[in-house]
């Protein structure tokens, strides 16, 4: 009986390990180089200080993340799911981006980790609007998509006055499922918090497209960011961790 119990335990542990490897794994995206503007955790973030944060979102082991370089397509690997469109379309100035889970920075060699409105996102996508990301959804039975969008704190506010601006549009198979308002980095001396996007993915969906516009102000600081961009498949929980009001405060919701 003891041998049977031990064998069952070993099988369960192997399956659990295999599942964790198959899903979210920032370490599988490669180690980032030294960042131009290091992120810093503080007790209370200051809108006049770039890349400081007082809230953090760790990766969710029950999700498949959108990645850019070290993922795979149409079936995601441990790093995540890569876009299927040309890399030249992923960013404006400063691209194509050469690092996963980072903002656009000031070009190659100066990427930054993702902070939006004083919240640090361990996983995410950075770009210089305008941008377009196309993700093939045929590699798994995806049921739900979630992310936070906004302007990167690495331009906010010292270099641009308002940290740039952008809008984010999400379509599945040509149908718009979510859209953010025009988002800026700071407003009234306060940082604009990340904006929540979440929607169910229709059965049999083939393609997710994320379009990022420059917000129409024509400045050079439109360093947009998509934090915690993740997909959930059949059998996965669709409730993100750390979503409680005590953690998120007044972060806005698209719904």
Query: Which residue intervals of the chain are DSSP H helices?
Result: 2-22, 245-248
pTM of the predicted model, to two decimals?
0.83
Domain limits of the chain? 2-253
Residue 8 confidence (pLDDT): 44
240/122 Cα distance (integer angstroms): 14
Query: What integer pLDDT is reported at residue 15 of this predicted model?
Result: 40
Tell me what pLDDT residue 50 has.
Answer: 92
φ, ψ dihedrals at 28, nearest 5°: -80, -5
Q: For residue 236, what pLDDT is reported?
A: 53
Which residues, including other chains, have CB under 8 Å from residue 169's CB and lie 6 or more apart? Answer: 176, 178, 179, 180, 210, 211, 212, 213
Contact 224, 215 (CB under 8 A): no
Per-residue model confidence as pLDDT tens for the chain (255 residues): 444 444 444 444 434 433 433 466 888 998 766 678 889 999 999 999 999 999 999 999 999 999 999 999 999 999 999 999 999 999 888 888 888 999 988 888 888 999 999 999 999 999 999 999 999 999 999 999 999 999 999 988 888 888 899 999 999 999 999 999 999 999 988 899 999 999 999 999 999 999 999 887 766 789 999 999 999 996 554 443 333 322 333 333 333
* SS3 assignment, position 195: strand
pLDDT value of position 20? 38
The pLDDT score that the predictor gives to residue 2 is 47
Q: In CATH, what number does 2-253 get?
A: 2.60.120.1060
For position 98, what pLDDT does the model report? 87
Cβ atoms of residues 117 and 194 within 8 Å? yes
């Amino acid at each position: 009986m003891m041998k049977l119990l031990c064998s069952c335990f070993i099988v369960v542990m192997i399956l659990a390990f295999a599942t964790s490897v198959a899903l979210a794994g920032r370490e599988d995206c490669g180690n980032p180089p030294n960042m131009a503007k290091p992120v810093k955790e503080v007790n209370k973030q200051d809108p006049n200080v770039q890349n400081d944060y007082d809230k953090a979102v760790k990766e969710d082991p029950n999700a498949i993340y959108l990645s850019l370089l070290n993922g795979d397509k149409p079936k995601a690997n441990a790093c995540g799911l890569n876009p299927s469109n040309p890399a030249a379309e992923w960013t404006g100035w400063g691209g194509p981006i050469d690092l996963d889970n980072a903002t656009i920075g000031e070009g190659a060699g100066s990427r930054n980790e993702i902070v939006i409105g004083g919240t640090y996102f361990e996983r995410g996508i950075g770009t210089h609007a305008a941008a377009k990301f196309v993700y093939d959804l045929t590699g798994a039975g995806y049921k739900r998509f979630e992310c936070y969008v906004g302007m990167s704190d690495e331009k906010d506010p010292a270099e641009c006055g308002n940290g740039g601006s952008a809008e984010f549009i999400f379509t599945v198979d040509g149908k718009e499922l979510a859209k953010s308002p025009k988002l800026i980095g700071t407003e009234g001396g306060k940082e604009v918090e990340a904006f929540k996007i979440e929607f169910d993915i229709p059965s049999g969906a083939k393609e997710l497209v994320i379009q990022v516009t420059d917000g129409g102000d024509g400045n050079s600081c439109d360093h947009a960011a998509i934090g915690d961009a993740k997909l959930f498949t059949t059998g996965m929980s669709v409730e993100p961790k750390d979503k409680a009001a005590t953690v998120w405060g007044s972060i806005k919701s698209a719904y």
